[in-house]
Amino acid sequence: MSTSASAATPAHSTRWRPDIQGLRAIAIASVVLYHANVPWVPGGFVGVDIFFVVSGFLITSQLLREVLPTGRLAFGRFYARRARRILPASFLVILGTLLAAVLLVPPAQLRTVAVDAMATALYFPNVLFAVRGTNYLNQTAAPSLYEHFWSLGVEEQFYLVWPLLIVVVYFLARRRRLVLGLVLAIVAALSLAAGIRATMTDEPMAFFMLPFRAWEFAAGGLVALVLSGHRKLPREVGALVAWAGLGAVAAAIFLYSSSTEFPGYSAALPVIGTAFVILGGASASGWGPAGLLSLRPMVFIGEISYSLYLVHWPLLTIAQAHVGLANPLPVSDQVLLVLIGVPIAWLIYRFVENPVRRSHKLSGAKPRTTLAGALAGSAVLVLVATGGAAYAANAPVTTNVVLVSAALTKNPKPSTVVPKNLTPSLAKASRDVPLVYNDGCHLGFGQPAIAKHCSFGASRRAPEVALFGDSHAAQWFPALDALAEAGRIRLVSYTKSGCPSVEIGVLFTSTPDNVPYPTCPVWRSRVIAALRSAPPAAIVVSNDPELPVEGGGFPSSAAWQKASKALLKKLPRRSKIVLIGATPLPGTAPSTCLSAHLANAAACDLKRARALPPALQRAEQRAAKSAKDHYLDVAEYMCNNTTCPAVIGHDLVYRDGSHLTATYAKSLAPVIKDELTQLLGRSALRLRS
């Protein structure tokens, strides 16, 4: 969110614009309702873009009032004003969120909370989320409690470069406004072009980083430059422009969704719409939307929009983390939390924002005093966050109970506690990945579509077994590799992230959901060709049945059965084919839940019907039967009739919301060995009785 966008018009302004407060009200309402998962505002995330434009307009207006007459800018005073406006409420929410997290958030999530608090206190949370690869519109993991601060980071970075750019360009252009406008337009065009390209190649970077968002601020800045020369549209034209702009904003809010490729080209609609509302509203026409935007309720929400933006997200995310990510809060509860945020925001606005901003004592202090205070505040927050990280590191993550390894059996009994000898530990769960990820044999999303494979095994005379599929095939590598190391098979691995071996068009999940996976069908066909040219003794196939597909959503059981059948028919018939069935999908990593239920691990067990839809199992079974191939139901060893335990014996079953731990997958090697023995014969696998 834009911070200055939620501030009142600067003290040096010549005219207060209540319609801009109304724009803020629309922006904050759309954002908080979107975050509360209200279905009728699927594009509410564009509220942040509205704030960016408004912020660019207000800050540029303020800069121009000082720079145009003199060609100079008191940088110290400028940054001191910004610090007084932004930081008090920001620091309060950062600290309050951290303290609430210590009390309410599961211990396994606390370390991440502390790290994110540090990044936020140091003004680069957006960089952290971009590097982390956060997908703002399509998240599968627990969102950061500080994720909404990304926009604050973008704006703070904007403040560092924008004043300097305006002063330098205006000086070099010898105070020619036209040249300044041309340069700002060029900056906007370059930033937009870079953002469009980045959206297609690296969506997190495009979403979170200033270079790809600068054009939105520049759009507001160009409007400010036009209006600073007292150039207003005729009243009737201004009214039409403002209404058109408001319509564009509304269209983005109500028609966009999380599947919209964003920011890219799509961001132009709300950005240009906001610029039009500001430009047209300057004409003060009674026919325009200014009257609607200036209604007292709109102005009130606009006034508290900054504080409301700061508090609404922690209210939602802390509450969700406390009840558990596996139990999504009803929309009605989320809306209630947002409404609770309104009086909290008003209190912060009334007793923190305004007193600090309007304090004669603070505004009269030397800029370096204010900036030193800002640095001191950041340092204190970093220290507190460091303490939170230390607390998280020392918090117990197991009971003192030691459990024996559970016998491999169908319908397993769940462990009732998180044992002291849990393997892997909750802290190491996310890193318990198959070796194939670390030795370069597994292809990632962005890697080329080559039929790359690696061979594993202690015996060259052992029958060759190929593993083919996406990351859900790769999760079986530890079990097959155990057989290869024992000399039973020679394993050849063909796996690629997010790319199933079944014949179905999937989306590139490292970018917005409407982008087809460009290298997937090419890679799939090349692997099939390689297998047909040199058929192995057996081919093990496994895939994630809940990858997003072209056309939207996830594949139906009928579509998955058809796609599986199409693949099996293309594989060489000289090879024995094993289709390993789908494994339960937790949706979120059980380790977080387990850290909050050490003595009641069953509270984190999965409901079988939800984690493993029976229709998908039947679809795979029918596909294998139709192709006269073998189907291996591994879920029998992970689930009983009603639940799929998170802990079996002393083994942690899932490393994240979708995959097994390498440890647990390896424990199922005997099951796969028995299946291959049945297919290839005991002598072929050189197995002893």
DSSP-assigned letter for residue 603: G
Q: Is 315 part of any domain?
A: yes
Q: Is the pLDDT of residue 685 over 90?
A: no
Longest alpha-carbon distance in the chain: 94
Which pLDDT band holds residue 9 (cuts at 50, 70, 90)? very low
Cα–Cα distance, 195 to 550 (Å, whole number):
24
pLDDT at position 116: 96
One DSSP character per residue, 323-388 reads: H-TTSPPPHHHHHHHHHHHHHHHHHHIIIIIHHHHH-HHHHTS-HHHHHHHHHHHHHHHHHHHHHH
Q: Is 9 part of any domain?
A: no
Residue 312, number of CB atoms within 10 A of its CB = 26
Select from 392, 418, 441 the last residue of a domain.
Answer: 392
Sequence letter at residue 273: G
Q: Is the pLDDT of residue 14 over 70?
A: no
Cα–Cα distance, 362 to 366 (Å, whole number):
8
Once rounded to an integer, what is the mean pLDDT over residues 610-638?
Answer: 91
Q: What is the CATH number of the domain that holds 535?
A: 3.40.50.1110
Which pLDDT band holds residue 11 (cuts at 50, 70, 90)? very low
Q: Answer yes or no: do 344 and 477 share one domain.
A: no
Select from 373, 392, 411 the last residue of a domain.
Answer: 392
pLDDT at position 309: 98
Two tokens at 678? Answer: 């049945």
The number of residues making up the chain comes to 689
Once rounded to an integer, what is the mean pLDDT over residues 542-554?
Answer: 86
Give the H or E element holding residue 228: helix 214-228
Q: Is 113 part of any domain?
A: yes
Q: By the 8 A CB rule, do 206 and 263 touch?
A: yes
Cα–Cα distance, 274 to 272 (Å, whole number):
5
Q: Answer yes or no: do 433 and 387 share one domain.
A: no
pLDDT at position 101: 95
DSSP-assigned letter for residue 396: -
Q: Answer yes or no: do 513 and 661 share one domain.
A: yes
Cα-based angle 412, 538, 530 (whole degrees, multiple of 5):
130
Sign of CA dihedral 473, 475, 481, 483: negative
Lowest mean pLDDT across 1-15, 225-239, 454-468: 1-15
Cα–Cα distance, 321 to 319 (Å, whole number):
6
Cα–Cα distance, 134 to 152 (Å, whole number):
16
Q: By the 8 A CB rule, do 207 and 262 touch?
A: yes
Q: How many structural domains is the chain composed of?
A: 2
Q: Answer yes or no: do 370 and 459 share one domain.
A: no
Q: Is 444 part of any domain?
A: yes
Which pLDDT band holds residue 2 (cuts at 50, 70, 90)? very low
Q: Answer yes or no: do 195 and 95 share one domain.
A: yes
Spell out the alpha helix ranges (H) of 105-213: 107-121, 125-132, 150-172, 177-201, 203-208
Residue that is written with structure tokens 């005219």 in the block: 15
Containing domain of residue 365, as a range? Answer: 21-392
Burial of 454 (0-12, 13-18, 19+ CB in 10 A): middle
Give which of 476, 470, 473 is closest to 507, Cα–Cα.
470
Which pLDDT band holds residue 3 (cuts at 50, 70, 90)? very low
Q: Is 34 part of any domain?
A: yes
DSSP-assigned letter for residue 15: S
Two tokens at 169? Answer: 């360009």
Which of helix, strand or coil describes residue 422? coil
Two tokens at 581? Answer: 């069935």
Higher pLDDT, 252 or 437: 252
Cα–Cα distance, 412 to 401 (Å, whole number):
19
Q: By the 8 A CB rule, do 76 and 367 touch?
A: yes
Rg (CA), the chain: 29
Gap between the terminal Cα atoms of the chain: 67
pLDDT at position 449: 80
Q: Answer yes or no: do 310 and 455 share one domain.
A: no
Phi first, then psi, for residue 318 (nearest 5°) are: -70, -40
Cα–Cα distance, 419 to 22 (Å, whole number):
55
The predicted-structure confidence for 84-106, as pLDDT tens digits, reads as follows: 999 999 999 999 999 999 999 99
Residue that is written with structure tokens 């207060």 in the block: 16
Q: Answer yes or no: do 304 and 450 share one domain.
A: no
Q: Answer yes or no: do 180 and 322 share one domain.
A: yes
Q: Answer yes or no: do 450 and 318 share one domain.
A: no
pTM: 0.84
Give the H or E element holding residue 61: helix 47-70
Q: Answer yes or no: do 37 and 107 share one domain.
A: yes
Residue 428, number of CB atoms within 10 A of its CB = 15
Q: Is 332 part of any domain?
A: yes
The predicted-structure confidence for 258-314, as pLDDT tens digits, reads as follows: 878 899 999 999 999 999 999 999 987 788 999 999 999 999 999 999 999 999 999
pLDDT at position 61: 95
Select from 392, 415, 440 the last residue of a domain.
Answer: 392
Strand 630-632 to strand 576-580: parallel, antiparallel, or no bridges (unpaired)?
A: parallel
Q: By the 8 A CB rule, do 585 and 612 touch?
A: yes
Q: Is 298 part of any domain?
A: yes
One DSSP character per residue, 537-592 reads: SEEEEE--TT--BTTSS---HHHHHHHHHHHHHHS-TTSEEEEEPPPP--SS-HHH
Q: Is 489 part of any domain?
A: yes
Q: Answer yes or no: do 80 and 133 share one domain.
A: yes
pLDDT at position 512: 46
Q: By the 8 A CB rule, do 305 and 298 touch?
A: no
Give which of 21, 50, 496, 536 is closest to 249, Cα–Cα.
50
Q: By the 8 A CB rule, do 594 and 603 touch?
A: no
Q: Is the pLDDT of residue 614 over 50?
A: yes
Q: Is the pLDDT of residue 44 over 90?
A: yes
Phi first, then psi, for residue 264 (nearest 5°) are: 45, -150
Report percent pLDDT > 90 for the chain: 73
Q: Answer yes or no: do 28 and 103 share one domain.
A: yes
Q: By the 8 A CB rule, do 564 and 631 touch?
A: no
